[in-house]
Structure 1
Amino acid sequence: MDFLGWSDGLALLPRDYLGEGEPLVAAVRAAGPYTGEALHLLALDTAATMARLHLGGIAGLRLNPGNVMIGPEGRVFFAPGPRSSEFPSADVRDWADVIVFAATGRPVRDGERPYLGPVPEVRAVIDECRRPNALSRPAAIDVVRALLGDPWDDRRATVRELLLEAERWSGSEARRSPSMADGHSGR
């Protein structure tokens, strides 16, 4: 795995902004919402990509189902485009809304607590990321930590270890792209 940018060769991967694929919105419309392990891998891969970009000093990503791209092997990248002047905490909230869309096929409305009935495994992370007070939202790397199953306050793993573990998980054989889906449920 070749990292570009930041320190110790860590942070940005060429695929974070480069690649061919289809927007998440098209993938969900074509094959239905993500569920189970496929949803968890999507959440982890997008959170790790966001964390690498934040660590590289890139924020204001304007994440939405139209610019989160799904590559042919199910890998995630973000379509480049104009960035907002928002802080990383806004990206974290946008990330949560993207994952809600992936799980439900519906966009989240402001002020709404999204229904995630069949996908409670990401509920706690989504709730933390959608807090109204931007200062109380987790950092992107803490989202990765939580999705890997570590407690929010567990700081034993380094940033490098967390990102490498996320890369191992998101490169797993369980990944499915829309064209490889076994059906609408359980992607």
Structure 2
Amino acid sequence: MTLSDDAFKVSIPYYLVSAPEQKAFLRELEALRNGSAKGYYIAPNSDPFASEVLQGDCWSGFQLFVFSSGTARPVRGIVLSNSCDIAPENGRTIPPKVVFAPVVKLSQLAARFKSAGLSDPQVDAKIKAIKSQEVTSLFYLPQGASLSEDYVVNLDDVHSMPFDAFNTGSTKAKHFTLSMAGFYMFVFKLSIHFCRLHENVDRRPKAA
């Protein structure tokens, strides 16, 4: 699966694109794929989910375990867990954990590319691909909402913590809620990164 106009059209629920005014949703999604930095977030002053924890949200208050030191450090992260699975009103016999990935400044990633010996044109090409959501393991977050500059999420860098500990933490604070187009782009990236069925691995057992 790749990010394309056809993939969007066959994967998005019909009710989201059936009415004429909803055609704008597809145009917004395609604009993000073409590198637009606008349309990722709900404006903070009109966010109906400001107090809810939803998949794709960015929050402060996560604790990341550092294996080298055996300690935890606070990070900002994006929620990977399904919204319903962590909703407090949904009772669970086993207390849920919230799965998240830290957000990292795009400028820091560019600096790592340069320190690895890439030329300026090579770095520029990589940054362009990231902004067009062409890199399957990275989700691009443009400057906006409460982000003062561009960020990325490394979908390989996944962590979890007890939801109750996160939800009652004193440093918990929301940075943005993804728009409809931003959320669907996020889910597409999750699906491509974690759930590619066309992996060209024949898993049938060998004939005896």
TM-score (norm 1): 0.26
Larger Rg: 2
TM-score (norm 2): 0.25
| Higher share in strand | 2
| Higher share in helix | 1
